[in-house]
A = this chain, B = another copy of it.
Amino acid sequence: MEFSFGPLGLYTDFYELAMAQGYFYSGKKNENAVFDYFFRTNPYKGGYTVFAGLYDLLRLLKDFRYSDSDLNYLQEQGFKSGFLDYLKDFSFTGDIFSVAEGEIVFPNEPVARIEGNIIETQLVESFLLNILNFESLIATKAFRIKQVSGGKSVSDFGMRRAQGLGSLLASRAACIGGVEYTSNVLAGKMYGIPVSGTMAHSWVQSFANEFEAFKTFAENNPENTILLADTYDTLNSGIPNAIKVAELMKISGHRLKGIRLDSGDLAYLSKKARGMLDNAGLHEVKIFVSNQLNEFVIKSLVSEQNAPIDAFGVGTEMVTGKPDASLDGVYKLASVNGLPKMKISENVEKITLPGLKNLYRYFDGEGNFFRDGILLSGENPETVNTLFHPVYPEKFTVVKNLRHELLTRKVFSKGSILIEDKKPAEIYRDLEQRSRFLPEEHRRFISPHLYKVGVSEQLSVLKKKLMGDLKNNL
C-alpha cells in the first residue's frame, strides 16, 4: 500500500498559499529560489541528530497537488481564479539536494537544499518541515535507546500513545534508529518493518484463570508464545503458570519463547524470573520487558543493574520523542535569482547563512569525524584549507589534506526520486556503520562535547558583506 490519502497540496500553512499568490501576481512567479533546511539544537540535550524522513518526503512530494475540491475550497477562502488555474496543474518541478537518511548531522548545517521557482519552493515548506523534523526527532531517540541496549533487541510498542497518525512515521523513524520490530501493523506493511507482539492483560482476564489463558495462547501460537506474567501476581502466579505451560509445550515438541514483564521493578523481577525459569531448566526462555522505558532506564537496567533482560518493548517516550516532542528545524531563504539572501536577527546565532551551500565532512587520521564544513556550492573543496566559526570568524581550524566527503547530494529532480527506496533496517545498518566513527564524547547523554561545524572563508566573507549591505539599507 502506498502512503497516500489523496492530493496533499493543502497540507501546508495558509501563509504559504497567501505568499504564493502574492508572488504569482507581483511578477515573481518565475524567479528562482533556494531554501535551506536546518535545525538549531540537537534534541534531548544530546550531541548529535540522526537525519530521517527524506524518502517519505520525496514520495509524498509527488502527491503535492490540488484536486478540484481543493481548488473550490481555496476559492471560498478568497484566492483568485488566475492563481487557482495555476495551481490546477501544479507539481513540484524543482531539485532537492540532501544528506542521506540515517546520516549523523549537527545544528546549523544545511541538511537539505531546495531549488526551484519561488512558488513551488515556498508551498512545500510546511510539509517538508512537518516530515523531516518529526522523523529526525524519533530516529535520534531510537538510536539513543539502541546505543545503550547492550545489543539486545528493541521493539516499538508505541502506537497507542503516539500522536495520532504520526505513529506511522514514528515507527519508520524508530526503525531507522535501530528498532527491530514494531507492534504497529499498518506501519509494518507500509514500510516493510517486521511486526511483533505478545498478549494483553485482557487475554488473561478473559479466561477462567491465568493457567487456562496461558495454555490456550500456547496452543494457538506454538511458534511464538510470549506470556504476559503480571496480570495478577508476577512471582506467585505469572511465572509459575508460565513454567507449567512451558513443560506442557515441551511434551508437544514446542518451546515457550518468552515471558513479558510489564509492571513493577523490572530489575528485581527479571532477576527473580530468570532464577525461577533456570531452576525449571528453561534456560532458553527469554525475558521481555516493557513499561515506560526510555534510554536512561534501559541504560541503568543493562549497565548498572545487569538485569537478565533479552528484549525491550519501548513505547510512548520513543514514538513521541519525549520530553522534547519536536525538533526545531527551519526552512530559510538562501538565494533568489542567484543573489544570496540572509535574515538578520538580534540573536547572532539566528542569523542565517546566505547563498548556495554544500556540506562536507572531514575525517581525522583514524577515520573519525573531525569537523563538518559548509562551503559555497561553487567552491572546490581541494582549495579549502581552513574552516571558520560561523559567528566568530576569529576562531578557525585547519583542515588541509584531511580526507573529506560531500554529504549533500542531489536526491530529487524533474519530478523523479534519484535515490533508492531502502528499508528502514537497511538505513539503520548504514547509520550503525557510520556511527562507529563518531567519537564517544559526542554520544554520551550528559553534557556531550560540542561537534564543531565551520564555514569556508568565502562563505564567511559573503556573510559579513551581506550583513553590512543590509544594515546600510535599513
Contacts and interface: CB of A to CB of B under 8 A. Distances in A.
Interface residues of A, number: 113
B216 A22 contact: yes
Given A164-B134, A470-B232, A69 B1 contact: yes
B166 A163 contact: yes
A437 interface: no
Contacts of A206: 23, 28, 31, 33, 118, 333, 336, 341
A19 B203 contact: yes
A325 B323 contact: yes
Contacts of A332: 201-202
B164 A168 contact: yes
Contacts of A18: 197-199, 221, 224
A4 interface: yes
A170 interface: yes
Interface in A10-56: 10-19, 21-23, 25-26, 28, 31, 33, 35
Contact of A264 (B21, B195, B346): B346
A14 B78 CA distance: 46
Nearest to A4: B5
Nearest to A160: B129
A252 interface: no
A34 to B, nearest CB: 11
Contacts of A327: 161
Contacts of A35: 202
A167 interface: yes
A233 B169 CA distance: 38
Contacts of A230: 345
A129 B200 CA distance: 14
A323 B324 CA distance: 7
Contacts of A221: 18, 22
Contacts of A185: 10-14, 17
Contacts of A73: 189
B320 A323 contact: no
Interface of A: 1, 3-6, 8, 10-19, 21-23, 25-26, 28, 31, 33, 35, 69-70, 73, 77-78, 118, 122, 125-126, 129-131, 133-135, 157, 159-170, 182-186, 188-189, 195-203, 205-206, 209, 216-217, 219-221, 223-224, 230-233, 236-237, 263-264, 316, 320-329, 331-333, 336, 341-347, 350, 470, 473-474
28 contacts: A3-B5, A10-B185, A14-B196, A17-B185, A18-B221, A19-B199, A22-B199, A22-B221, A26-B220, A70-B189, A73-B189, A78-B224, A129-B160, A130-B164, A134-B163, A161-B327, A162-B326, A163-B320, A202-B331, A202-B332, A205-B341, A206-B333, A209-B473, A236-B474, A316-B325, A320-B320, A322-B323, A322-B325
Given A26-B219, A122-B200, A205-B341, 20 more contacts: A1-B69, A12-B159, A14-B183, A15-B197, A18-B199, A28-B206, A33-B202, A130-B159, A161-B326, A161-B328, A202-B333, A205-B333, A205-B336, A209-B473, A233-B474, A264-B346, A320-B325, A322-B323, A322-B324, A323-B323
